[in-house]
Amino acid sequence: KEFRNNVKPNWCPGCGDFSVQAAIQRAAANVGLVPDELAIVSGIGCSGRISGYIKSYGFHGIHGRCLPIAQGVKMANRELTVIASGGDGDGFAIGMGHTLHSIRRNIDITYIVMDNQIYGLTKGQTSPRSAAGFKTKSTPKGSIEQAVSPMELALSAGATFVAQSFSTDLKDLTAIIEAGIRHKGFSLINVFSPCVTYNKINTYDWFKENLTKLSTIEQYDPSDKQQAMQTIMEHDGLVTGIIYQDSNRQSYQELIPGYKEEGLSKADLNLSQEAFDQMAGEFM
Ligand code: SF4
């Protein structure tokens, strides 16, 4: 309840993004945050609206650029918990460079991708996560490109926390977001979040039939990177759970001498309204 505001989402009824919103709200409460300790930065796309639907600091950025903004927010206020969020087009097409560099930088933010394998906001075109052969208005004879595999890419780029979930599995999704927030470093959480309006292939039923929970794989060990990569490849990326976590590597912030004690915080800004207005005016 604490993270609910009075803005009514204008997603289509049944859109997977509703559950992601609920899971973020629950996870934030479960880790003991209050709204002014959380910042949500989003990109462009249906999913990008999420920063306006949760009671917290919010920044609805530009296409593919939620990660540079989120990293700036974290560096400017060490006390904030920062969640970046967007769609698969946002993060794995125009924003892919930022995704990979944020991963290798290991800055302490949580990145949640609502992966619906299509561009929903622009009314249904092939995205980098659409499978080969996928037919849309932009590929009427079927896509001739291969889909990107974000989990494989993340592991190759040196990710310290890689997870996937399914938007109907609210309990699991909430637990994974909580774990991502608690992780000291960059956490990438890819959420299969169906677009009920434009993607008639990757539906809720399709995911239910095709996803494998890592908890059902005997002796799966999320600290074993080789097993993580092998499992993703064997299941064509269709697994849910914490795929890989390295809790030993230091985050970007921890490697900056003095940041933990002396990095910027809200208190350091301590601006009067007059000073704030003057500063804001300089940017207008
Ligand atoms: Fe969700 Fe698709 Fe509707 Fe966008 S178009 S709100 S992704 S169901």
> Would you list the domain boundaries of the chain?
17-282
Percent of the chain with pLDDT over 70: 94
CATH class of 17-282: alpha beta
Is the pLDDT at 255 greater than 80? The verdict is yes
- State how far the Cα of 205 lies from the Cα of 136, in Å rounded to an integer: 20
Sheet holding 110-115, edge to edge: 57-60, 38-42, 81-87, 110-115, 187-192, 161-166, 239-245, 212-213
Quote the mean pLDDT of the chain.
94
Nearest residue (CA) to ligand 1, atom 6: 11
pLDDT band of residue 145 (cuts 50, 70, 90) is very high
Q: How far is the CA of 10 from the centre of ligand 1 (A)?
A: 9
pLDDT at position 66 over 80: yes
| Half-sphere exposure for 180 (CA within 13 Å, toward CB) | 33
Give the residue from 205, 184, 189 showing the smallest Cα distance to 241.
189
Given a cut of 60, whether residue 74 has pLDDT beyond it is: yes
How large is the ipTM? Answer: 0.99
Q: Tell whether the model's pLDDT for residue 136 goes beyond 90.
A: yes
Band of pLDDT at residue 208, cut at 50, 70 and 90: very high
**Amino acid at site 151:** M
pLDDT of residue 272: 74
What one-character-per-residue DSSP string does 211-232 give? -EEGGGSTT--TT-HHHHHHHH
| Nearest to 42, CA basis, from 58, 22, 56 | 58
Among 23-27, 32-36, 72-76, 156-160, which stretch is predicted with the lowest mean pLDDT? Answer: 72-76
Any idea which of 151-165, 209-223, 224-238, 257-271 has the lowest mean pLDDT?
257-271
The residue whose CA has the least distance to atom 1 of ligand 1 is 15
H runs (alpha helix) in 55-166: 66-76, 88-89, 96-105, 150-156
Atom of ligand 1 nearest to the CA of 17: 1
Pairing of strands 81-87, 57-60: unpaired
DSSP secondary-structure letter at 54?
Answer: B
**CA 26 to CA 24: how far, in whole Å?**
5
Q: How far is the CA of 226 from the centre of ligand 1 (A)?
A: 35
pLDDT value at 16 more than 60? yes
Pocket of ligand 1 (CB under 6 A): 11-12, 15, 17, 46, 116, 120-121, 195-198
